[in-house]
Structure 1
């Protein structure tokens, strides 16, 4: 699992590769900052801190997050089935898998529904490659 941090002024973007579903919302929404063809792929000088925060908050999997954002422990849990894609769970949770327990404090976690993910129980975008219908 790769975790990277990118900082500008008082804003730090955290990227967790193991939960990224490669929706490309970051790239299509703010390509001046998020460009997977460049290294590093996150250029914090490409936009204002406010623009970066707004785009990170649109990440559907929670793979991108802003460090230091408070997480509401009383937050309602919402579960959404994405057409032909993952099961999205919004809110804080504990995930038990292969005898391990992981506390997830993401705004959203994407779980595999197609069975093809190489990062189960999380979605890695494999549903696109296998043309999953469901």
Structure 2
């Protein structure tokens, strides 16, 4: 019996994401999109056939380069009595999942940004495990938790990034997600931290009515 190949995403220079051997591609409407052994997903934000690339990046001067004024790649830690919260703003997609669902702990626009003693540690851990970008992780009893064995899937978020789970990312420029288990990839073309989403899709008013 032939061994099943693990799916992967290759970030092509100033071009699409080349995705190989992916079985599950799903959009925000709950539709499972047909895949092939190799597909190209748009990351310039201009395709007329989203989520797939249609070559528009060759016409709109898309650049996949990181910008110098991006948020630095740095992990901040918020130490509590029973749990320590870690946050890497560099890979945060700013969809508001944490501040919306546990505002007593995660405080938008405030410093310190997180209060690890403001809720039950297990409740905090459960929420962190659902962070789509991998920006959040936690430590309990000296053990760091950031990989949760998600199955391979790419989810096309409504007017937002590709939320990826369980798919290896290969970037010739050396970009590495906080965890290969789950991360968010830019598809609006405006992120300052490509290939990762940095929430710029909101200010860019990126729209994808199809997905």
Q: Separation in 2 of the partners of 1:72 and 1:24?
A: 20
More strand by share: 1
Q: CA deviation at 1:104?
A: 4.8
User: Which residue does 2:110 correspond to in 1?
Assistant: 38
1:103 Cα deviation after fit? 6.1
Are 1:87 and 2:159 counterparts? no
Q: How many residues align?
A: 132
Could you say which residue in structure 2 is the equivalent of 1:50? 122
- Higher helix residue share: 1
TM-score by length of 1: 0.84
Q: Quick check: 1:133 aligned with 2:200?
A: no
8 Å Cα contact 1:110/1:122 also seen in 2: yes
Structure 2: give runs of 5+ residues left out of the alignment: 1-72
What is the CA–CA distance in structure 1 between the aligned matches of 2:114 and 2:177, rounded to whole Å?
Answer: 26
2:169–2:180 CA contact under 8 A, matched in 1 = no
What TM-score do you get using the length of structure 2 for normalisation? 0.56
* Secondary structure of the corresponding residue to residue 46 of structure 1: coil
Query: Where do 1:1-134 residues align within 5 Å?
Result: 1-67=73-139, 68-69=144-145, 71=147, 76-91=151-166, 93-98=168-173, 100=174, 102=176, 104-134=178-208
Following superposition, the deviation at residue 9 of structure 1 comes to: 3.5
Considering only CA atoms, is the larger Rg found in Structure 1 or Structure 2? 2
Change (3 A) 1:70 1:46: closer
Q: Give the alignment's Cα RMSD to 1 decimal.
A: 2.2
Unaligned runs of 5+ residues in structure 1 are none
Distance 1:39 1:120, change over 3 A: same
Range that drifts further, 119-128 or 3-12: 3-12
Q: Tell me the alpha carbon deviations over residues 44-85 of structure 1, each in whole angstroms, 9 at most, x when there is no partner.
A: 111111111122122121211224237367x63211111211
